[in-house]
Structure 1
Amino acid sequence: MEENVLKMIEQAEEHFIEKIAENMNTYGISSTVGRVLGIIYMNRKPMTLNELSEATGMSKTRMSQVVREMLDLNIAEKVFEKGVRKDLYDVEQDYYQTFISLFTANWSKVVKKNRMIGKKIRRELLEALEKESLSAETEEKINDLLEETKQWLDYCKWLDNLIAFLESEDVFKHVPKPS
């Protein structure tokens, strides 16, 4: 009888792991990263690369790449445990904090890239306006693009503010976590 309950628990944990992997996919994160996140989360304690490789069936090299990606995304951390000589990795147990970390890590990269492109386009357009003798129609097109670039850079600034808002956790004052 207890064997059936243990099997049911195992299936429930596997469902959670799969749902976490699917959720990560909707955030633009690979389902592999999501699966590893779910495995560590369901383990409820830090795991070594060997343990993760065994749990996922992936090579230790691939697991190392996945864990490095998780560290970069700020959804995992290397932890120390007395008496354990191998590196241990743990994940945030708070779904809300994981979401904030994923959202802000991804969007910060996107915003930085977009801002750089916007500034480059603006610079090139301004140079073209200064250097060339242009028809009124061409000047108008450049000015339209300069206005578009300003709106683009304003949007990047708004995203920066949104990221800061989430990282400050002020979001929970406006959209509280259920108690």
Structure 2
Amino acid sequence: MEELKRAEDQISDRIADNMKTFGVSSTVGRLLGIIYLNRKPMTLDELAEETGMSKTRMSQVMRQMMALNIAEKEFVKGSRKEHYRVENDYVQTFISLFTTNWREVVSKNSQLARRLQEQLNQVENMYDGELSEPTQKKKEELENELEEWTTYYDWISRLVDFFESGEILDSVPLKRKSPKDDK
């Protein structure tokens, strides 16, 4: 039984390490692994006991996990405590982490692009459209950069849609086709 517990801990630790790839704390990964391997929803008390961390810290991490769409509260009949479950599909967890992070990046950068374009328009309005040649050239360079920027973030947004819709699995199936499948 001790060997099985060690193997389970190694899986949980690997999940925690993998979270760093997504810019997510290893604590999130550790809880993800613990709940996943528990195979049933867990309370904050159970998580605190399992990790040795405070219940307050567990609450903070669970809120973060819910914001990342990899955990949710679940009603457990006969219990007044909040229970949390995690996505038990590795692919869906990856998609949730990937898309949540990139949606945020797209949103922030799209907002910035709009503000910068407004600033460029204000510069032109301040001078009644009569910009010096170097200023006009610089403004055009920045507008071109913003256009490339906007195109790039639009592409990322469409890539996120591709993942969220599940179409990615049509292009990159979970299991490789074997040569026998083509016959």
Both structures adopt the same fold (TM-score exceeding 0.5): yes
Q: How does 1:38-117 map to 2 (within 5 A)?
A: 38-117=33-112
1:82 offset after TM fit, Å? 1.3
SS in 1 for 2:84: strand
Poorly superposed stretches of 4+, deviation over 4 Å: none
1:81 offset after TM fit, Å? 1.7
1:129 offset after TM fit, Å? 1.9
What is the identity, as a one-letter code, of the residue corresponding to 1:77? E
Aligned residues: 174
SS in 1 for 2:72: strand
Give per-residue Cα distances to partners, 1:67-89, cap 9 Å, x unaligned: 01101111001011211221110
Alignment of 1:28 with 2:23, yes or no, is: yes
Question: Any gaps of 5 or more consecutive residues in structure 2?
Answer: 177-183
SS in 1 for 2:12: helix
- For 2:80 and 2:157, the matched residues in 1 are separated by 40
1:159 offset after TM fit, Å? 1.1
Which stretch has the larger CA shift, 166-175 or 131-140? Answer: 131-140
Pairwise CA RMSD of aligned residues?
Answer: 1.0
- For 2:165 and 2:122, the matched residues in 1 are separated by 39
- For 1:178 and 1:58, the matched residues in 2 are separated by 38
1:134 offset after TM fit, Å? 2.5
Alignment of 1:130 with 2:139, yes or no, is: no
- For 2:18 and 2:109, the matched residues in 1 are separated by 25
1:130 offset after TM fit, Å? 2.7
Alignment of 1:175 with 2:157, yes or no, is: no
TM-score (norm 1): 0.94
- For 2:148 and 2:122, the matched residues in 1 are separated by 19
The equivalent residue for 1:164 is: 161
Question: Any gaps of 5 or more consecutive residues in structure 1?
Answer: 1-5
- For 1:97 and 1:167, the matched residues in 2 are separated by 9
Alignment of 1:142 with 2:139, yes or no, is: yes
The equivalent residue for 1:3 is: none
SS in 2 for 1:77: strand
